[in-house]
Amino acid sequence: MSQMLSMTDVTVCYDNVEAVRNVSLAVDEGQIVTVIGPNGAGKTTLLMAAIGLLASRGSMVFRGSDIRKMSVEDRVERRLCLVPEKRELFSDMSVADNLLLGSYSLRDRSGVQKTLDEVYDRFPRLRERQRQAAGTLSGGERQMLALGRALMAKPALLMLDEPSLGLAPLIVREIFRTIASLRDLGVSILLVEQNARAALETADYGYVLETGEIVQSGPAKDLIHDPRLITAYLGGH
Amino acid sequence: MTSDIAAILAIDGIATGAVYALVAIGTVLIFTVTRVIFIPFGDIAAFTALTLAALDAKRFPGTGALVVALACLATLIEIISLIRNGEVRLLPRALLFYLAIPLAVVGIAWLAMRMDPPLAVRLVLALMLITPIAPLLDRIVFRPIADGTVLLLLTVSVALHFALVGLGLLFFGPEGVRTEPLTSFSTEFAGVLISGQTMLIVIAALVFSGLLYLFFDFTLVGKSLRATAVNRTGSRLMGIRPARAGTIAYLLGSLMAGVSGILIAPVNTVFYDSGFLIGLKAFVGAIVGGMTSYPGAAIGAVGVGILESFASFQSSALKDVIVFSLLIPILIWRSLASLHSEEEIEE
């Protein structure tokens, strides 16, 4: 199994404060890797650095290329995609236009219509609302649109920042089912979540990030039974 | 004032407003994509008129030298920036876009000039020569401060306008120009004489606004520009480069300003510094649309044109005072309206 993303000793600073310190993690091809941790641990910062929206120190290799100094757009063209916590949808534009713009980075445009149909098949609600402005969608539909838009870029590695944030439990389950099904498409996933139980149930491997540092890591099925994590993040039972 | 005079003033105002509308739409386009309030758009319109007048007089316009000077400067800045960022592999592309294409445009215009081209070709040449100016200015002036505040960008934009007025004097000289009318056709409607030039202005404004609408709604590049305007971070995450979106916006905006310059040249005497008032009045129109709405900007600009027309009839000396006084109630109204929309964004 080849390595998709490898971060070694990555440090990210806001002004002079280190929000992420010497973090090393790896995502293998076809794997779902999750980073769990409390609010303010630096999870979002780590993803922002991975996509290039924040500068970082250390080494960052994606599919064999050093990407640390690359622009966001160059990383996206190499099929590294991020669905950010705030979704960052084009609220005034239609669902269909949002999805179409997801494919902007693809040079070969011949398969765009097919990918669009696949996204609509995966999220039938988006097909129903394709002419509606993204800003008028419900929270769950927005998350579906954000996921669908990212899938339009045919990502090799999809990074998801808190996909369950602010959603009703029923929709959270649907979102996690979708994330698990993406693995079957060959998409590798780096999932950052506060909902640790759902994340570890879906992932193959997990990292625990606390105050900017990785304090624990291991196969997800082991972490979910770890007594310390059960007390701290998994509801204590 | 009789109804005949009111009709004449209204038609005159609509024509002037249509010219402002083209510049206003360009202003909104640039602002939404790049956050720059591009004051020199009026100068671009005036320079187009001066360029066309020079071509009509069988002189090669100063625009050529201006484009060459800006292209050399932009290329130099781009090369330094690429070397500094360790992106030397992008040098050929930089040379193509910042040097080869602008020089080719000037070269083609120079060669075409020697063949004594007809009016239609001269119009195309004038637009060709004018469109590289704003994208090159963007590279030289605005790209290095792209992350600055809107106020910083505006301050630099005002400074750039004064610099351009100086360059205008250098490259075009102090004489005013008025080009030959694009048409001698005229017709009477409900007892009021309407010149072909007036009709042409209104038709051109409608056609170019329509084309822009089609571009935004039906092309991926157009949609990417809208996306950049709506959500800059979101668009970067799609692989849309803000700098490239900015260049396209400047090219389109310049084209709109260029067309308005061509339309205004036969009806007004244009000097190297005439652009300021054109740009400022278009800006008032753009503010009516909250700097974000194209139809709002167009309607606002036509409103400014009509008000100016009636104001100049009542008191020619005070017409600009009346038009700019309009800003005060509009700004009060917009500030109340924008408070409301900020609350909505917060959810």
Mean pLDDT of chain A: 92
> What residues of chain B lie within 8 A of the CB of A134, using their CB?
none
Question: What count of Cα atoms within 13 Å lies in the side-chain half-sphere of residue B110?
Answer: 12
- Between positions 130 and 149 of A, the ones with CB within 8 A of B are 149
pLDDT band at B347 (very low <50, low <70, confident <90, very high): very low
Please check whether residue B118 touches A, CB under 8 A: no
CA distances to A42, A211, B249, B257 from A231, in Å = 21, 18, 55, 66
CA angle (B82, B229, A91) in 5-degree steps: 130
Give the mean model confidence (pLDDT) for residues B282-296: 87
Q: Which helix (H) or strand (E) holds B85?
A: none
What integer is the mean pLDDT of A125-135?
A: 95
Over 80: is that where the pLDDT of A178 sits? yes
| Out of A17-31, B66-80, B290-304, least confident range | B290-304
R_g of chain A, CA atoms, integer Å: 17
Q: Which residues of A touch B224 (CB under 8 A)?
A: 101, 104
For A88, the closest of B223, B231, B239 (CB atoms) is: B231
- What integer pLDDT is reported at residue B191 of this predicted model? 76
- State pLDDT tens for residues A149-170: 999 999 999 999 999 988 888 8
β partners of residue A221: none
Has residue A74 got a pLDDT over 50?
yes
- Cα dist from B122 to A218, B54, B66, B265, whole Å: 71, 10, 18, 13
Strand-pair partners of B113:
none
Residue of B230, B241, B282 whose CA lies nearest to B46: B282
Give the range among A66-80, A148-162, B196-210 with minimum mean pLDDT.
Answer: B196-210
State whether residue A156 sits within 8 Å of chain B by CB.
Answer: no
CA distances from B202 to A11, A29, B205, B278, B303 (A): 59, 59, 5, 16, 14
Name the percent of chain B in helix, strand, coil, to the closest 5: 80, 5, 20
| Residue B24 confidence (pLDDT) above 90 | yes
State residue A185's pLDDT score.
83
- Does the CB of A53 have a partner CB in chain B at under 8 Å? yes
Cβ atoms of A150 and A97 within 8 Å: the answer is: no
What local confidence, expressed as pLDDT, does residue A1 receive?
Answer: 65
Task: Using alpha carbons only, give the angle B4, B5, B6 rounded to the nearest 5 degrees.
Answer: 90
Using alpha carbons, list the distances in angstroms from residue A156 to A72, A81, A188, A232, B250: 15, 8, 6, 33, 34
B229 to chain A, closest Cα gap in Å: 9
Q: What is the pLDDT of residue B54?
A: 92
Choice between A77 and A236, residue whose per-residue pLDDT is larger? A77
When pLDDT is averaged across residues A100-126 and rounded to a whole number, the result is 94
Decide if A101 contacts B223 (C-beta within 8 A). yes
A93 and B224 within 8 Å at the Cβ level: the answer is no
pLDDT at position A176: 92
- Enumerate the β-bridge partners of residue B193: B188
**Which residues of B are less than 8 Å from A81 in CB distance?**
237
**In A, which residues are within 8 Å of B237 by CB distance?**
51, 72, 76, 81-82, 84, 88
Give the per-residue pLDDT at B342.
43
Confidence of residue A117 (pLDDT cuts 50, 70, 90): very high
* Beta carbons of B241 and A73 less than 8 Å apart: yes
Q: Cα(A119)–Cα(B191) distance, rounded to whole angstroms?
A: 60
Using a CB-CB cut-off of 8 Å, the residues of chain B touching A104 are 220, 224, 238-240
Residue B319 pLDDT class (50, 70, 90 cuts): confident
Separation of alpha carbons B225 and B242, rounded Å: 9
Q: How far is CA A34 from the centre of its chain?
A: 9
Whether residue B343 is predicted with pLDDT greater than 60 in this model: the reply is no
Q: Does B220 touch chain A (CB under 8 A)?
A: yes
Tell me the pLDDT of chain B averaged across its residues: 89
DSSP A18: E
Question: Which residue does chain B place closest to A92, by CA atoms?
Answer: B230
A67 touches chain B (CB under 8 A): no
Q: Check whether B326 has a pLDDT greater than 90.
A: no
In this complex, do B235 and A101 lie within 8 Å of one another by their Cβ atoms?
Answer: yes
Contacts of B236 in chain A (CB under 8 A): 53, 72-73, 76
> Higher pLDDT residue, A236 or A203?
A203
B236 shares contact with chain A (CB less than 8 Å): yes
Tell me if the pTM is above 0.80. yes
Nearest to B26 by CA among B233, B252, B208: B252
- Cα–Cα distance for residue pair B71/A125, rounded to 1 Å: 50
Task: Supply the ipTM of this predicted assembly.
Answer: 0.94
Q: Which residue has the higher pLDDT, A1 or B172?
A: B172
Q: Check if A89 contacts B (Cβ < 8 Å).
A: yes
CA distances from B245 to A135, B20, B150, B175 (A): 23, 24, 18, 36
| pLDDT attached to residue A108 | 87
* Chain A contact present for B84, CB below 8 A: no
pLDDT of residue B226: 92
Looking at the complex, report in whole angstroms how far the Cα of residue A76 sits from the nearest Cα belonging to chain B: 5
Q: What is the CA radius of gyration of chain B?
A: 20
Quick check: A200 pLDDT over 70?
yes
Tell whether A71 lies on the interface with B, counting CB pairs under 8 A. Answer: yes
Mean pLDDT across B154-168: 94
Q: In the numeric block, which tokens belong to residue B156? A: 């630099």
Instruction: Tell me if A73 and B224 make a contact (CB, 8 A cut-off).
Output: no
CB A80 within 8 A of CB B241: no
Buried b (16+ CB within 10 A) or exposed e, B105-138: bbeebeebbeeebeeeebbebbbbbbbbbbbbbb
Q: What is the DSSP string of B154-203?
A: HHHHHHHHHHHHHHHHHHH-S--B-PPPS---EEEETTEEEEHHHHHHHH
* CB burial of residue A59 (10 Å; 0-12, 13-18, 19+): middle
What single DSSP character describes residue B88? G
Average pLDDT over residues B67-89: 92
